[in-house]
Each structure stands twice: as structure tokens, then as C-alpha cells.
């Protein structure tokens, strides 16, 4: 039996209101879309995913986000969810699978056993969906007033993935005259039975910003705090620019080193690699390797942050102290914080950059070099 899952990712997330569609926002360091895809695939029974996206640029982005997973070429969706599902089904019509699952890319968590239970139900029914019984009292209302109470007995909230034998779902979409908010509704309209299986509160759909906060909170018990420190020193010399935390500072001397010698970013990298227990910057970017000669150290910090993401972690806070008499760091500290926050992809409120002197003592006191020490805290899957 060939089973393809449509991963519905063509929505704009207007109710969420972010700059980008919510399915590309990160949850524990990975896009929501990636969570949804992995959850579907690890549940068993799905042969491949078909991402349905808003346009060609999103297609490339989705394919990058889903790299390494069994995926067909992304298909362009439509103006409504129904139009997007139809586009996905039509793309499969020339070599139809036996079964198609339709899943919201905005649902990052899938309780184990959902897909096998749906597939079992398809032995008897042409369609099957997970749904939660309504537990709150339901009111019909308008203009801020209750019109009446709606009996909730026998009412359910439909979730995804919804599973269908391919042919009846395609027929139902082709015959549809009304807009439906899920696919089961189209089978119902065609007079076909759809099985109702138990859903789960954990299978939440990220619709509003508070849903993302809820999703993050539900992950916390599965994450462990990790902490790392970093320390670095570079010599001050003539004839080199002074680059600290990715910001070029006007100064008669610059830092010497194999790369651009950005001592602040190097200490931050080591703090992050340390929290990951993944060695140090020299292990990832050996000073013996000529490709890193005069390299821009922002690439090193992006790499370190990327490792956190790859491990399914969250970079929570970083704190950096630059140690030198001159230049004075305070006038540049805000620009440095902003640059580091941008490179790490975290809010600036979680980035600290400060400085101290050594009271004219030692090599930093004599102005021979600049030292930096950093700490980073992460949350990593237990």
C-alpha cells in the first residue's frame, strides 16, 4: 500500500501575524514544518511527504527545511486550504497512491500511534480523522451577546492528519461546490462515511502567537539546561582593522590572527560549542586550514548557532565580557549586542556584551592584546 502525506504549508498565517508564515518559525530551534514532517514520518506507514507551499520561493525553502526526509517536489497551493489540498491531489493524480494523508504543517506534535490507527480505520472506511470531544459549553453569539447555548453532546473538534483512500478524496474535491475547512467535510458532502478516532490535546495547531508559547512550554519537560564557557585572546598590532562582535571599531590597532581575529565572537563560539560538548572553534575551523585565513568570524558564530538547531536545542542566553583598556567598549556595546543577536537568531534581550579593564595590569593592561570571556546557556533534548 503506497501512502503519501500532503503537508499543507501554503497558508500565510494571517491570524498569527508574524512577518513570515508561522510554519517557518522555529520551535526548539527547528521550523514548525520540520517538526510536523518528522512527527508524521516517525509514526510509521507514510512512504513520502508532498509539501504544498505558497509559491516557488517557499518551495525551495520547504525543501531545504525538509532536507534528508523522503519528500516529493513541492507543489504550489491556492488561495484557500481547500484549493491547496486540491492542488496537491491533482499533482498525485497521474500516479495515484492508495492512501493520502492531509496534515497541517502548523501542527508540530503528533501523538504516537495516530497514523497507524488512521490507516487501520481505512480498511473499513474511505476516510478517517482524529477528533477531540468538545469539553467547554458552546455558545452562539453576535455583537458581544449570547444568542443561545448550543448542545455540545456529540460534537467534536476535528484535527489532522486526516486519512483517505485516494480516489474518493480526489473525486470529492473535484465535485466540491462549497468551501470546507477540512477534507472530511467533502467526503461527508459526498455521502461517504468518515471514521472518528480519538484525537489529542497535544496535537495543537499553531494559529495564534499564544499557541506557539503553549507548544514551547509543552517541550520544556523534554529539554535539559546546558551551559558552556569560552575564553580567547588576540594580540593588538598595526595595520589590521579592529573587529569585535562583528562590528568594525575605529582604532589605530587591530587584532592579529589566522581569521579576522574577532576575539569576542571566538569566545562566544567556544561557549556554545562547550555547552554542546562539541569541542572548540579550532576543531570546527582549524587554524592550519588556509580557507579560514582572514575569514569573517560571523560565519563561525552562525555555524555554532546552527549546531544548536541541528541538535534540536534552544539557545537561551549568551554573556560576553571583553577585557581591554582601549578602545572603550561601552559606546559600541549596543551595536555589538544587536549584531550578535542577529547572528544567533535570538532576541537582543537575551544577549549581553560588557567590558572590563585589568587596572593596567598584565598584557591587556599594557594594551598588547584583547581578551574575551563568554558564557552560553542552552536547552537540549534530554
Ligand X SMILES: Nc1ccn([C@@H]2O[C@H](COP(=O)(O)OP(=O)(O)OP(=O)(O)O)[C@@H](O)[C@H]2O)c(=O)n1
Whose CB is nearest to ligand X?
A: 11
Rule CB under 6 A: say whether 159 interacts with ligand LQXTBERG. yes
Rounded CA-CA distance 66/8 in Å is: 13
Rule CB under 6 A: say whether 158 interacts with ligand LQXTBERG. yes
Rule CB under 6 A: say whether 203 interacts with ligand LQXTBERG. no
Taking the least distance from each CB to ligand X, the nearer of 61 and 260 is 61
Lookup result for grid cell 560538548: 277
Integer CA distances (angstroms), 253 to 87, 306, 333, 361, in order? 61, 32, 19, 19
Give the β-pairing of 48-53 and 75-76. Answer: parallel
Cell of 221: 519537560
* Smallest gap from residue 89 Cβ to ligand LQXTBERG (A): 15
Rule CB under 6 A: say whether 106 interacts with ligand X. yes
Taking the least distance from each CB to ligand LQXTBERG, the nearer of 25 and 243 is 25
Nearest CA among 266, 236, 261 for reference residue 373: 266
Taking the least distance from each CB to ligand LQXTBERG, the nearer of 29 and 199 is 199
Contact (CB, 8 A) for 2 and 12: no
Integer CA distances (angstroms), 118 to 62, 81, 196, in order? 26, 21, 9
* Smallest gap from residue 92 Cβ to ligand LQXTBERG (A): 19
Residue 152 DSSP code = -
* Smallest gap from residue 191 Cβ to ligand LQXTBERG (A): 21
Rounded CA-CA distance 107/18 in Å is: 17
* Smallest gap from residue 155 Cβ to ligand LQXTBERG (A): 13
Rounded CA-CA distance 73/76 in Å is: 10
* Smallest gap from residue 43 Cβ to ligand X (A): 18
Binding-site residue ranges = 232-234, 258-259, 266, 280-282, 356-359, 363, 366
Interface ranges with ligand LQXTBERG (CB under 6 A)? 81, 104, 158-160, 181-182, 205, 207
Interface ranges with ligand X (CB under 6 A)? 8-16, 21, 23, 52, 77-81, 84, 104-106, 205, 207
Amino acid at each position: 500500500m503506497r501512502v503519501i502525506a500532503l503537508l499543507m504549508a501554503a497558508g500565510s498565517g494571517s491570524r498569527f501575524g508574524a512577518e513570515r508564515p508561522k510554519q517557518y518559525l522555529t520551535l526548539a530551534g527547528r521550523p514548525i514544518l520540520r517538526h510536523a514532517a518528522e512527527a508524521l514520518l516517525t509514526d510509521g506507514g507514510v512512504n513520502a511527504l508532498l509539501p504544498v507551499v505558497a509559491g516557488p520561493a517557499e518551495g525551495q525553502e520547504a525543501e531545504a527545511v525538509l532536507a534528508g526526509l523522503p519528500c516529493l517536489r513541492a507543489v504550489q497551493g491556492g488561495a484557500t486550504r481547500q484549493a491547496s489540498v486540491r492542488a496537491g491531489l491533482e499533482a498525485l493524480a497521474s500516479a495515484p497512491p492508495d492512501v493520502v494523508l492531509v496534515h497541517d504543517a502548523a501542527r508540530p506534535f503528533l501523538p504516537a500511534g495516530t497514523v497507524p490507527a488512521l490507516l487501520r480505520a481505512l480498511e473499513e472506511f474511505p476516510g478517517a480523522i482524529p477528533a477531540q470531544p468538545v469539553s467547554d459549553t458552546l455558545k452562539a453569539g453576535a455583537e458581544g451577546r449570547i444568542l443561545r447555548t448550543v448542545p455540545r453532546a456529540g460534537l467534536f473538534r476535528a484535527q489532522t492528519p486526516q486519512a483517505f483512500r485516494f480516489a474518493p478524496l480526489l473525486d470529492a474535491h473535484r465535485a466540491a461546490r462549497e468551501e470546507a475547512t477540512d477534507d472530511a467535510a467533502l467526503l461527508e458532502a459526498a455521502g461517504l462515511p468518515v471514521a472518528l478516532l480519538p484525537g489529542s490535546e497535544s496535537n495543537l495547531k499553531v494559529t495564534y502567537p499564544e499557541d506557539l508559547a503553549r507548544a514551547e512550554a509543552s517541550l520544556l519537560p523534554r529539554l535539559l539546561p546546558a551551559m558552556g564557557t569560552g575564553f580567547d585572546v588576540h594580540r593588538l598590532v598595526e595595520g589590521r582593522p579592529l573587529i569585535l562582535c562583528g562590528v568594525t571599531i575605529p582604532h589605530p590597532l587591530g587584532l592579529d590572527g589566522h581569521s579576522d581575529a574577532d576575539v569576542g565572537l571566538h569566545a562566544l563560539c567556544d561557549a556554545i560549542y562547550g555547552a554542546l560538548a562539541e569541542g572548540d572553534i579550532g576543531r570546527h575551523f582549524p587554524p592550519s586550514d588556509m580557507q579560514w585565513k582572514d575569514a569573517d568570524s560571523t560565519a563561525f558564530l552562525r555555524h555554532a548557532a546552527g549546531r544548536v538547531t541541528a541538535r534540536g536545542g534552544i539557545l537561551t542566553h549568551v554573556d560576553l565580557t571583553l577585557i581591554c583598556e582601549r578602545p572603550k567598549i561601552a559606546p559600541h556595546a549596543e551595536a555589538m549586542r544587536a549584531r550578535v543577536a542577529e547572528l544567533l537568531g535570538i532576541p537582543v534581550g537575551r544577549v549581553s556584551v560588557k567590558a572590563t579593564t585589568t587596572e593596567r595590569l598584565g598584557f591587556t593592561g599594557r594594551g598588547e592584546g584583547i581578551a574575551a570571556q563568554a558564557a552560553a546557556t542552552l536547552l537540549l533534548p534530554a
